């Protein structure tokens, strides 16, 4: 397994092969996957370096990206790949996601028109992925499977059963009867037309916003499948909390756009039930491929809502109840409400008696998880003087955290022009920013601190202290404490950040957003 420095070295070599010079490489905050990303500043632009040990997954991403890019779909372009296929360089789409806009809407208490327009643009592009992107796509490269089949559906349903339902003694059920309901639901879902590209993880965190237009990432888990799954994944994303009225408007928008598209884009839809087709002919309905498509979309849509929400509860059960990650447990009530409302609004043409009985008992769980108080992680970032005061005491009582010694770095304090300045002043910032050693130090600090923050958030910890010391607590330690504190605030808006320049008797507080 490659070390961090080996990864960075390979990234630099790949970029040099593109004819560009690497100026700075910064590790990006980790996500839910094992992939590692680095933002690279070159002499021409910003790029993203990626490292992933799963070669099959990488091959799917390379193949899909090339095909989608050739189709004119808004995805990152893979520019160069290492011989091992573990490391690759792609274009940089920035940091603004659709979910950032959603969070602002939730904070303000309503969805604004700008965000609604972004959702509509996203649905427009989804149709392009499902149809244009589907044609000619090499599904033999898909990972982990080439199509949305019975096993895929049963995996989602069993995820719910084993990781959520069986973790709650309060819910009684007959497993044999529940499995029979799962089989009935799976067979019904498999009837839906499925000759389209299915993104699989189509949610607002995977939609980048560039110049008010959506771009798309993390589609390497895509496969051939039905239309409904991705629409449900986007519009029923639990943490987005889209109001039911707006959700209905967006579903109608998607269907209207689908109907407007030339029937030449679609192959005729084969209905699996010939009796239904014959009865429609008897009614004198003149059907077109687009008409058939909308009709089948409506017919099977409720089943996909149920499937996706059960899968989400399974994920929250695994992350929250089994892995003990607090913020996933705090999301459980939102998912429970969604599935209870969905079962009231949508109906299926058959009964699922055991599953329905299970869902009716969810009210007990709603009360249980609503009592979990949200707890914010608070990060204290200090600058201090080794000469006067020493390493700050951890008032939280938890101990641990980080102490970084900045004294090996270039010292502005040795120059008379900086004697009265601090690490917050422009002249000192410019002096330190110009030193390669400073950037190398900052990159390593960021990687270590961000790794701990990710872990602390997952485990529900409440306190972390990060300390930077230099001789007098005036220049280098102040520069790094301010820089790192602001980086934490920018990348982790859900945490509280308190920056203390102890030798300067100054503080800055950034409240969680």
Reported as a single tens digit per residue, the pLDDT across 465-504 is 999 999 999 999 999 999 999 999 988 888 999 999 999 9
Token output for 308: 């996706």
Q: Round to whole Å and give the CA distance between 226 and 297.
A: 9
Q: How would you classify residue 223: left for phi > 0, otherwise alpha for psi between -120 and 50, otherwise beta?
A: beta
The answer, yes or no, to whether residue 286 has pLDDT greater than 90, is no
Which of residues 407 and 33 earns the better pLDDT score?
407
Which of residues 300 and 271 earns the better pLDDT score?
300
Q: What is the mean pLDDT of residues 38-43?
A: 94
- Give the global pTM: 0.74
Q: What is the mean pLDDT of residues 377-383?
A: 94
Q: What is the mean pLDDT of residues 324-351?
A: 87
In CATH terms, 4-91 corresponds, of 2.60.40.790, 3.40.50.10860, 3.60.150.10, 3.30.200.20, to: 3.30.200.20
Per-residue pLDDT reduced to its tens digit, 84-140: 999 999 999 999 999 999 999 998 999 999 999 999 999 999 999 999 999 999 999
The answer, yes or no, to whether residue 3 has pLDDT greater than 90, is no
Query: Which string of DSSP letters, residue by residue, matches 174-228?
Result: -HHHHHHHHHHHHHHHTTS---EEE-SS-SGGGEEEETTEEEE---TT-EEE-SH
pLDDT band for 419, please (50, 70, 90 cuts): very high
Which of 188, 249, 199 lies closest to 227, judged by CA?
199
Which of residues 407 and 398 earns the better pLDDT score?
407
Q: Among the listed ranges 32-46, 254-268, 356-370, which one has the minimum average pLDDT value?
A: 254-268
pLDDT score at 2:
84
pLDDT score at 431:
96
pLDDT band for 262, please (50, 70, 90 cuts): low
The per-residue pLDDT of the chain, averaged, comes to 90
Q: Break the chain into its structural domains and give their ranges.
A: 4-91, 98-370, 378-510
Q: Round to whole Å and give the CA distance between 466 and 66.
A: 42
pLDDT score at 269:
42
pLDDT score at 82:
97
pLDDT band for 18, please (50, 70, 90 cuts): very high
Per-residue pLDDT reduced to its tens digit, 201-248: 999 999 999 999 999 999 999 999 999 999 999 999 998 999 999 999
Q: Round to whole Å and give the CA distance between 88 and 11.
A: 7
- H helix or E strand, kind and range, residue 164: none
CATH number of 98-370: 3.90.1200.10
Q: Which residues of 232-267 are buried (b: 16+ CB within 10 A; e: fewer)?
A: bbbbbbbbbebeeeeeeebbeebbeebeebeeebbe
Which of residues 509 and 140 earns the better pLDDT score?
140
Q: Among the listed ranges 276-280, 355-359, 417-421, 506-510, which one has the minimum average pLDDT value?
A: 276-280
Q: What is the mean pLDDT of residues 147-155?
A: 97
pLDDT score at 14:
98
pLDDT band for 289, please (50, 70, 90 cuts): low
pLDDT score at 329:
82
Q: What is the mean pLDDT of residues 445-472?
A: 91
The answer, yes or no, to whether residue 461 has pLDDT greater than 60, is yes
pLDDT score at 347:
87
Token output for 323: 């892995």
Q: Round to whole Å and give the CA distance between 134 and 65.
A: 12
**Residues 27/51, Cβ–Cβ less than 8 Å:** no
pLDDT band for 512, please (50, 70, 90 cuts): confident
Residue for token pair 């089949």: 149
Q: What is the mean pLDDT of residues 381-397?
A: 89
Give, in order, the Cα–Cα distances in Å from 419 to each of 145, 390, 415, 425: 63, 21, 7, 11
Which of 284, 282, 288 lies closest to 268, judged by CA?
288
């Amino acid at each position: 397994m490659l070390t961090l420095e080996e990864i960075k070295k390979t990234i630099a070599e790949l970029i040099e092969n593109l004819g560009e010079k690497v100026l700075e490489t910064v590790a990006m905050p980790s996500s839910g996957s094992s992939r590692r990303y680095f933002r690279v500043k070159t002499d021409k632009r910003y790029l993203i370096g990626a490292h992933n040990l799963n070669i099959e997954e990488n091959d799917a991403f390379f193949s899909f990206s090339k095909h989608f890019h050739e189709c004119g779909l808004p995805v990152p372009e893979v520019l160069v790949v290492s011989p091992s296929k573990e490391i690759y360089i792609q274009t940089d789409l920035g940091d603004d996601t659709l979910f950032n806009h959603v969070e602002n809407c939730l904070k303000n208490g309503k969805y604004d028109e700008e965000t609604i327009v972004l959702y509509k643009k996203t649905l427009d592009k989804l149709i392009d992925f499902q149809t244009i992107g589907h044609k000619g796509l090499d599904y033999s490269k898909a990972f982990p499977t080439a199509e949305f089949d019975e096993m895929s559906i049963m995996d989602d349903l069993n995820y719910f059963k084993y990781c959520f339902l069986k973790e709650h003694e309060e819910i009684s059920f007959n497993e044999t009867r529940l499995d029979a309901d799962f089989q009935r639901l799976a067979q019904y879902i498999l009837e839906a037309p499925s000759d389209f590209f299915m993104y699989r993880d189509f949610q607002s965190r995977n939609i980048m916003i560039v110049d008010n237009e959506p771009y798309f990432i993390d589609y390497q888990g895509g496969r051939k499948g039905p239309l409904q799954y991705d629409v449900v994944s986007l519009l029923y994303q639990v943490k987005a909390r889209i109001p039911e009225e707006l959700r209905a408007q967006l579903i109608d928008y998607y269907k209207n756009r689908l109907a407007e598209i030339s029937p030449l884009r679609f192959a005729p839809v084969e209905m699996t039930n010939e009796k239904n087709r014959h009865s429609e002919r008897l009614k004198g309905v003149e059907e077109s491929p687009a008409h058939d498509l909308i009709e089948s979309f409506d017919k099977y849509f409720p089943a996909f809502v149920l499937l996706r929400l059960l899968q989400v509860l399974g994920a929250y059960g695994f992350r929250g109840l089994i892995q003990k990650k607090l913020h996933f447990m705090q999301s459980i009530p939102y998912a429970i409400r969604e599935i209870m409302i969905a079962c009231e609004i949508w109906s299926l043409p058959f009964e699922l008696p055991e599953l329905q009985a299970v869902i009716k008992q969810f009210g007990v769980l709603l009360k249980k998880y609503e009592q979990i108080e949200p707890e914010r992680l608070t990060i204290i970032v200090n600058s201090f003087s080794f000469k006067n005061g020493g390493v700050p005491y951890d008032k939280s009582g938890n101990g641990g955290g980080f102490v970084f010694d900045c004294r090996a770095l270039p010292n502005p304090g040795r120059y008379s022009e900086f004697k009265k300045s601090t690490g917050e002043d422009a002249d000192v910032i410019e002096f330190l920013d110009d030193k390669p050693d400073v950037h190398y130090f900052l990159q390593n600090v960021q990687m270590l601190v961000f790794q701990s923050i990710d872990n602390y958030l997952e485990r529900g910890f409440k306190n972390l202290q990060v300390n930077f010391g230099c001789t007098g607590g005036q220049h280098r330690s102040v520069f790094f404490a301010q820089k790192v504190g602001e980086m934490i605030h920018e990348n982790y808006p859900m945490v509280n950040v308190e920056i203390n320049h102890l030798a300067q008797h100054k503080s800055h507080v950034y409240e969680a957003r």
